[in-house]
Structure 1
Amino acid sequence: MPSRSLPPLAKDDFAALSEFRYQMRRFERFSEDAVQARGITPLQYLLLLHIKGFPGRDWATVGELAERLQAKPHGVVALVTRCEAAGLVARQVSDVDRRRVEVHLLPPGEAMLAQLAELHRAELLSLDGIFTIPKLLRDHHE
């Protein structure tokens, strides 16, 4: 398939990219403040979210979590250890494959995640129509 030659970015394109990054960072800052007010770090919140949100099941492996977090597995092991010490998650050896370790949410982790996810949902709904993906593929000469 031949690649389509796109026109150079115009001022409006840069403005759209800037606004997108600004709104994305505002949401990230909201998230950071919300989770820290509950006594956990943003990465701990994301770990809980990715365990609960993993497709098809309510647990995930360290490797799967590393992919979701875009982090190195050894860093995720340390993150899981901190969440385990806080009573939010537990490791469990798989019944199917004894080499696989599953990371499960514990009831305090479920409760923390439910509270924080509700705050995040409300914030995202408040951004409806503001936080949009910029349209950058238009031809400026048309």
Structure 2
Amino acid sequence: MTKSKQAPLSKADFEALSEFRHQLRRFLRFSEDAAQAEGLTPQQYQLLLHLKGYPGREQATIGELAARLQTQQHGVVALVTRCEAAGLVTRTPNEQDRRQVFVSLTKAGEQALQRLAALHRSELQSLAGVFQVANITAFNDRD
């Protein structure tokens, strides 16, 4: 965002920001509850999602997962270890660089992710109007 002279925020701007944050938190709460109902932590669900959704492939390194999860690598190592113990993921050494390990979903991880992702998609579809760009047009630079 550039530091140009902008008009002060209006009451409508604050209402739009408040509503967006409310709906975002509502979705995150839904996600936490859905993961726990599946027997996973929210972090485990996010890890599975980022593995399946990694651009161009269905495996990722610890460093790549840490970047996606916005956390430290040592925390991701612990999370992967817990997911591996639960039978959700496997680790495979990188053949080109033995210092790296690829993490990928197991069949059980894939099945849990499919169930949870379907629930998340339905919830996002119900919130589609809230997250449309039109709802935040008040934040565009005014002439």
Q: TM-score range by the shorter chain?
A: over 0.9
Superposed counterparts of 1:36-115, under 5 Å: 36-115=36-115
Comparing 2-11 with 87-96, which one deviates more in the overlay?
2-11
Residue ranges of structure 2 left out of the alignment (5+ in a row):
none
* Partner in structure 2 of residue 116 of structure 1: 116
CA distance in 2, matches of 1:100, 1:75: 16
TM-score of the pair, normalised by structure 2: 0.92
CA distance in 2, matches of 1:93, 1:11: 55
Q: 2:140 aligns with which of 125, 137, 140?
A: 137
More helix as a share of residues: 2
Give the % identical residues. Answer: 60
TM-score of the pair, normalised by structure 1: 0.93
4+ residue runs of structure 1 moved beyond 2 angstroms?
130-133
SS of 2:7 mapped into structure 1: coil
Residue ranges of structure 1 left out of the alignment (5+ in a row):
none
Residue identity opposite 1:73 in structure 2: Q
Q: CA RMSD in A?
A: 1.4
CA shift digits 1:7-37 (9 cap, x unpaired): 1111111111000000000000110111100
SS of 1:125 mapped into structure 2: helix
Residue identity opposite 1:99 in structure 2: R
CA shift digits 1:74-111 (9 cap, x unpaired): 00100000000100001110122222100010000000
- Alignment coverage as a number of residue pairs: 139
Residue identity opposite 1:44 in structure 2: Q
